[in-house]
Amino acid sequence: MSRVLDLPAPAERELLLWCPGSDLLRQIIATLREDPAETTTLVAWASHLGVSSRTLTRAFLAEAGMGFAQWRAAARIRQAIVMFARSEGIVDVAERVRFRSAGSFNTALPRGTGMSPERLRSQ
């Protein structure tokens, strides 16, 4: 017996976000999940956690496959997608995930998802 599988074409960009699970990064991840607009810097987190910023950078690279700033930006984009699914307005979404303006959000979203806000909303 043969089977035919109908598989969708792979996405251009990955929309999933790997969340590190180590004790070292747990507080950072929890804080950013709770409030994606959180602005604590990597240096400030390192000081708070009693480690070097290089240690945190290595931990993010090892566990998430990307640096802290890139991970935080991806977390913000992911949260924006969730908010769009709830039909929240673009200005509200941009403000709540800490973009300087709706315009900067309109520029960042396609970089992270490959889709404009309008196209993403219609999905």
Quote the pTM value: 0.74
**Tokens 């300087």, located at residue:** 100
Kindly report the average pLDDT of the chain as a whole number: 81
Q: Is residue 4 part of a domain?
A: no
Q: What is the mean pLDDT of residues 35-58?
A: 95
CB of 59 closer than 8 Å to CB of 25: yes
What CATH number is attached to the domain comprising 84? 1.10.10.60
Total domains in the fold of the chain: 1
Q: Is residue 13 part of a domain?
A: no
Q: Is residue 115 part of a domain?
A: yes
Domain extent at residue 41: 23-29+37-122
**Tokens 């999940």, located at residue:** 33
Is the confidence at residue 1, as pLDDT, over 70? Answer: no
Is the confidence at residue 105, as pLDDT, over 70? Answer: yes
CB 105: neighbour CB atoms within 10 A? Answer: 21
CB of 115 closer than 8 Å to CB of 121: no
Q: Is residue 17 part of a domain?
A: no
Q: Is residue 1 part of a domain?
A: no
Q: Is residue 83 part of a domain?
A: yes
